[in-house]
Amino acid sequence: QVQLVESGGGLVQPGGSLRLSCAASVSIFNSYVMGWYRQAPEKQRELVATITRGGRTNYADSVKGRFTISRDTAKNTVYLQMNSLKPEDAAVYYCNAHGSVRDFWGQGTQVTVSS
């Protein structure tokens, strides 16, 4: 069983930055594609960014150039650096581990962007 624990959310002003962290309970980067998703109130959960086993990254168009996904294999941790935040980035952000058999999700961390 894989456990994912997100942290780093909070309140930030428009234009500000936050870094989210997702700590995995076991070493999984060789077996799973890691990703960040978000869900705003009354909206569907959407993909934000992914990083493959080989380190290839992919981003939603809405965050390209502003967000960066990365990982620290030694710490079993995936990060999402979010810069130039906009009010429309406000959501609950979820960490995801996508495997060939099943996915694992974290509990989510709230990001609020407001002045």
For residues 72 and 43, give the distance between their C-alpha atoms in angstroms, rounded to a whole number.
Answer: 31
Among 114, 105, 84, CA closest to 36 = 105
What pLDDT was estimated at residue 26? 87
Measured CA to CA, the distance from residue 77 to residue 98 in angstroms comes to 15
H or E element, residue 80: strand 77-82
Q: What is the mean pLDDT of each run of 10 residues along the chain (115 residues)?
A: 94 98 91 96 97 96 98 95 98 96 96 96
pLDDT at res. 3 = 95
Q: What is the pLDDT of residue 50?
A: 98
Q: What is the pLDDT of residue 92?
A: 98
Q: Name the 3-class secondary structure at 47.
A: strand
Residue type, 91: A
Tokens standing for 6?
């997100």
> What does the pLDDT read at residue 60?
98
Residue 71 is predicted with a pLDDT of: 96
- Measure the CA–CA gap between 35 and 48, rounded to whole angstroms: 7
